[in-house]
Chains A and B, each alone.
Chain A
Amino acid sequence: MPAIALQLNAQLLKPGPAKSEAVGLRQGLDPFLRGVERRALRMAELSTGNREDALEIVQDSMFAFARHYASRPESEWPPLFHRVLDSRILDFHRRQKVRTRWLSWLPMARGDDEDAGGDLLAVVADGNEPGPLQRLADGQTGAALDAALRALPLRQRQCFLLRVWEGLDVAATAQAMRCSEGSVKTHLSRALAALRMRLEAHHD
């Protein structure tokens, strides 16, 4: 009987299908996350306005995605990952809104918020930055693009980035944003119109 138990134990402890499945999952998940993490960070950064919050959002998103959706087929990963990311960004804005509402009672906090909030010119790079002319032009374009994207309403910005930059189709974007395909088209149309207007100088 102990011999049987030993054989059974050895069979269970050797790398079986479940363990090899986990290794395979890790091998598939690593390049996916590696490929999407930088763009995810930039998307979060455009929504939060600072890198530290963006890093926390991306970290939470990757962790939650790995926990809940890693076992799903790889073809479903992009919209699911962006669904988690979008959810975390929305949560961030909800917390910010509550925080702002409570802190608005404090005179000192109100002053801080006025300094930090809403001024789009504050995030535009200084046009007198020294350096080669081309670099200056690229920097100005990048800063103008960042400012224009940040000025968009949250849903329009997310829709634009998912459709145009991430390359998701309308259905996948709707899944990621938890809205109808018609809403995706509306958000995108408005975002394109607003960006065209704001970036007209750079577009020409």
Chain B
Amino acid sequence: MRDFILKRVAALILPFVCVYGFYVIFHGHISPGGSFAGGIIVGLSFIAFSTIYGIEKGRAKLSEDVLTWTESFGTLWYGIMGMVGIFKGVPFLANKLAGIDLGLPGELFSSGLISYIGLGVGIRVASTMITIFFTLMEDEE
């Protein structure tokens, strides 16, 4: 698409959409939303960018190496967070049982492992959506 107005509006809005997606991911344990919804919003900002500005510019923003790494290590990050419980001698993926300080409810980095796991899941969902989109768009070139 080569529409001037669309490009200007997208340039104004899409950075805030991306930042809002990260806001939803980080505040998943405090406010409505969560890592899945926030990851979709982050992925949507990149998908809209590459739809409006062309797939080449979208790929320049987010290279294939970055996508491969986030794609592969998002799930592994979840596993590593789960292993914290095993190293402390309690079941896999234990949070309060593992003796982690839960913090004050309502603060950004409260609730122990939940915020870290949520960050991993959010990045994972975003990279999955962007990877599928880029792979599907390749045939239209």
Co-assembled chains A and B: no
